[in-house]
């Protein structure tokens, strides 16, 4: 997603500046061209040599702003060059400058001399973040469609306080950069309410044993992230997912369930409120007719299980959906993936389906990558080759927009 894309990283003076080194490294490894601009105060925390080494390009400071040997003003050159500007950490001082349109530093001038999207990752003491003046500046930027702000996280701060003010984690920042690069900063889903299911359901036999599947929920989480970054209002209903995968999830309403019955109840109850419903969860097909609340002793385990079929949630949603709703399914298959996916699309009254092969290396369940064939009810197909799941998610959203 970032191959040959041009990113200006503006670093202000805050302790979180050290975390931006990982951001720069990740951007470079993803194929982006990176130019780093350090404010004077930022150089008290990290050096131009450090960021130059990580970005493979000389860093820029305010000294370059006044360099008369440049063929063109450096702020004009970098402002026109950038596909995106990242401000990390976005300190209270830089936030105020940007919101007021001040132009007293190289970084501030680059922002004013550009038209590309600007992503800010605030970082500051909790009391500073909560000041009315800071919140006013933050809200002012959010009203400008150019600016996209990652709300700071909560946790232990460098001042030994616990509260809101931690800069977003590097992986979260890079995912936001990738998303804004893909959408060119447009909030093209701002009028959409999207319901997404994710993860693999568990059908318990007793208190500890269950029938399940290896779905990690990563694809559903990627779709949720992509939709939020593009302005959608997202609700996520998910089966058990590793806590660490949920840590960097942007603002979504989230409902945690375990069994298919719980997922069915949650989805059917809420479905009418949404424009798009994306069924990415790997919902079980069968469950034991008898469930024991306590753990069975090994000697008491039955020699065979009597199974019953689980109601098809997507098919129920297909029967009750409005004409203006879009219902998207997923089909995890081995071997031929398109024929079974087409059959499911028609039988469940879906508007489109994403077929993915789970028997290919580094693809499908648990993988960070995927490859899909999108099929709509008119039979049109679009093949997306192997890519990170966040990239796949954006292509899926693009495909749904065209339905």
Do residues 183 and 230 lie in contact, with contact meaning Cβ atoms separated by under 8 Å?
Answer: yes
Do residues 354 and 279 lie in contact, with contact meaning Cβ atoms separated by under 8 Å?
Answer: no
User: In angstroms, rounded to a whole number, what is the distance separating the alpha carbons of residues 389 and 223?
Assistant: 8
User: In angstroms, rounded to a whole number, what is the distance separating the alpha carbons of residues 246 and 238?
Assistant: 10
Do residues 52 and 58 lie in contact, with contact meaning Cβ atoms separated by under 8 Å?
Answer: yes
Phi then psi for residue 106, to 5 deg, are -60, -45
Which one, of 51, 111, 105, lies nearest residue 87 by Cα? 111
HEC assignment per residue over the chain:
CCCCCEEEEEECCCCCHHHHHHHHHHHHHCCCEEEEEECCCHHHCCCHHHHHHHHCCCCECHHHHCCCCCCCCHHHHHHHHCCEEEEEEECHHHHHHHHHCCCCCHHHHHHHCCCCCEEEEECCCHHHHHCHHHHHHHHHHHCCCCEEECCCEEEECCCCCEEEEECCCHHHHHHHHHHHHHHCCCCCCCCCEEEEEECECCEECCCCCEECCCCCCHHHHHHHHHHHHCCCEEEEEECCCCHHHHCCCCCCEEEECCCHHHHHHHHHHHHHHCCEEEECCECCCEEECCCCCCCCCHHHCCCCCCEEECCCHHHHHHHHCCCCCEEEEEEEECCCCHHHHHHHHHHCCCCEEEEEECCCCCCCCCCCEEEEEEEECCCCEEEEEEEEHHHHHHHHHHHHHCC
The reply to whether 116 belongs to the active site is no
List residues with catalytic annotation: 159
């Amino acid at each position: 997603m970032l191959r040959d894309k041009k990113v200006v990283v503006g670093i202000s003076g805050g302790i979180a500046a050290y975390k931006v080194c990982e951001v720069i490294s990740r951007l470079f490894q993803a194929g982006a061209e990176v130019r780093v601009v350090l404010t004077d105060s930022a150089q008290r925390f990290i050096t131009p040599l450090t960021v130059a080494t990580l970005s493979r390009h000389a860093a820029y400071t305010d000294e370059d702003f006044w360099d008369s040997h440049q063929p063109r003003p450096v702020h004009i050159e970098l402002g026109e060059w950038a596909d995106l500007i990242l401000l990390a950490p976005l300190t209270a001082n830089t936030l105020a400058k940007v919101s007021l349109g001040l132009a007293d530093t190289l970084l501030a001038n680059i922002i004013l001399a550009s038209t590309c999207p600007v992503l800010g990752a605030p970082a500051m003491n909790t009391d500073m973040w909560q000041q009315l003046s800071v919140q006013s500046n933050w809200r002012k930027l959010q009203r400008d469609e150019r600016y996209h702000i990652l709300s700071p996280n909560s946790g232990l701060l460098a001042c030994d306080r616990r509260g809101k003010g931690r800069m977003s984690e590097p992986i979260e920042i890079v995912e936001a950069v990738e998303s804004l690069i893909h959408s060119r900063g447009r909030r093209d889903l701002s009028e959409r309410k999207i319901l997404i299911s994710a993860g693999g359901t568990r059908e318990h036999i007793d208190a500890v044993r269950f029938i399940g599947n290896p779905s990690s929920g990563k694809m559903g989480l990627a779709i949720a992230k992509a939709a939020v970054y593009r302005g959608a209002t997202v609700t996520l209903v998910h089966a058990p997912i590793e806590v660490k995968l949920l840590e960097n999830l942007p603002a979504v309403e989230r409902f945690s369930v375990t069994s298919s019955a719980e997922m069915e109840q949650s989805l059917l109850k809420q479905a009418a409120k949404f424009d798009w419903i994306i069924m990415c969860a790997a919902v079980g097909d069968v469950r034991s007719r008898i469930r024991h609340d306590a753990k069975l002793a090994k000697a008491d385990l039955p020699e065979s299980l009597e199974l019953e079929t689980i109601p098809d949630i997507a098919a129920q949603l297909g029967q009750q959906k409005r004409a203006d709703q879009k219902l998207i399914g997923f089909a995890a298959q081995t071997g031929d993936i398109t024929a079974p996916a087409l059959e499911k699309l028609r039988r469940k009254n879906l508007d489109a389906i994403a077929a993915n092969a789970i028997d290919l290396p580094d693809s499908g369940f648990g993988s960070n990558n995927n490859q899909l064939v999108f099929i709509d009810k008119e039979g049109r197909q679009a093949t997306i080759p192997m890519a990170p799941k966040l990239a796949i998610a954006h292509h899926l959203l693009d495909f749904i927009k065209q339905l």
